[in-house]
Copies of this chain bind each other. A is one copy, B any other.
Amino acid sequence: MRNSAFFLLFAPAIVTLGIVATGCAPQGDVTPALEAVADPLPSWNEGTAKQSIFDFVARVSDPASPAFVPEAERIATFDNDGTLWSEQPAYFQLFFAIDRVKALAPEHPEWKTKQPFKAVLDGDMEALAAGGEHGLIEPVMATHGGMTTVEFEAIVRDWLATARHPTTDRPYTEMVYQPMLELLDYLRANGFKTFIVSGGGIEFMRPWTEEIYGIPPEQVVGSRIKTKFEMRDGVPVLVRLPEIDFIDDKESKPVGIHSHIGRRPIAAFGNSDGDLQMLQWTAAGEGPSFCLYVHHTDADREWAYDRDSHIGGLDKGLDEAAARSWTVVDMKNDWKVVYSWN
């Protein structure tokens, strides 16, 4: 339970971005010569990371390859926070929850004196942090439950349309990684079905993943609270209950993948130890597999953090990636741009 509130709180948010890359990879063999003609990953610098992606896609999509994988089985799963968009200075879903507490405060005068709501309303991040992750469960449940699913979707959409990232002042939807958008397109152009498998709230992501990532709601797996079917004046609704149903993190990511997708991915992409089991599960498949970690090494254009970070910590994962020769993307050196605007 310690992580529960954290992961329901923390996921994504977005708005119109309109920078979906249109890179379209040649089918079959992808050689350096062809790349020069039409590079499907123009925001990636040449190097082992980029080349490992091309090599894997060529191996599994060329019918003449001994490692060929039928299209239906080309499942690729992506973590979201820190893998497709940023997660600093805190998971973006936390900012959503804070804004919701503020918006709902007039209906809850008791919050003015009750922690951790008081800390949220006072903007006292120190007091908020002192309560630990466990202290965040109450505000999450108070702000993410109690309404219908249709109402919650509208709340997320409205928030995304106006909220701005605390340090860049950009819409959260502009905090997505341009190289990863190209990678998503490139995989789909080669017959992959792309899924999000995130610790973030599933209903916090679905309203925008199709527009921003090209990933439809049915291909989003995430943490969720319980919902209940009710008839209200003859109209069926699904009411969001203030009760955790599933936390899609660490050991639970393979569980979520199995429950939602029902087949093992052949490619998995993450950035933290919370993704390690997803990568292990993917690597343990019988056929070819590809595992990639995004390593946050760019303090200038994004953030630099790994082993000691309490958000998106990458410690065991770095060791395992080295031991198993997984691809590790050095954001500073492997990416020409991080966002579309830097």
Which chain B residue lies CB-closest to A73?
B216
Name the B residues within 8 Å of A229 (CB-CB): 251-252, 254-255, 277, 281
* A-side interface residues, number (CB < 8 Å): 36
Which of B203, B236, B259 has a CB less than 8 Å from the CB of A227? B259
**Which candidate, A179-187, A260-268, A331-339, is the interface stretch facing chain B?**
A260-268
- Contact among B218, B228, B238, B261 with A217 in the assembled complex (CB-CB below 8 Å): B261
- CB of A258 within 8 A of CB of B218, answer no
Is A59 part of the contact surface with B, judged by Cβ < 8 Å?
A: no
Residues of B within 8 A of A206 (CB): 262
* Closest chain B CB from A107 CB (angstroms): 26
Contacts of A224 in B (CB 8 A): 259
Say how far A172's CB is from chain B's closest CB, in angstroms.
Answer: 20
- Tell me the number of copies of this protein: 2
A220 to B252: give the CA distance in the assembly, Å: 20
How long is the Cα–Cα vector from A231 to B259 in the complex, in angstroms? 19
Q: In the complex the two chains form, is A218's CB within 8 Å of B284's CB?
A: no
Q: Is A72 an interface residue (CB 8 A)?
A: yes
Q: Does A21 contact B (CB under 8 A)?
A: no
Cβ-defined partner of A238 (8 Å) among B202, B220, B255, B260: B255
Q: Collect the chain B residues with CB atoms within 8 Å of residue A255's CB.
A: 227-229, 238
Given contacts A72-B210, A236-B277, A254-B236, contact A262 B227 (CB under 8 A): no
- Would you call A340 an interface residue if the criterion is a C-beta within 8 Å of the partner chain's C-beta atoms? no
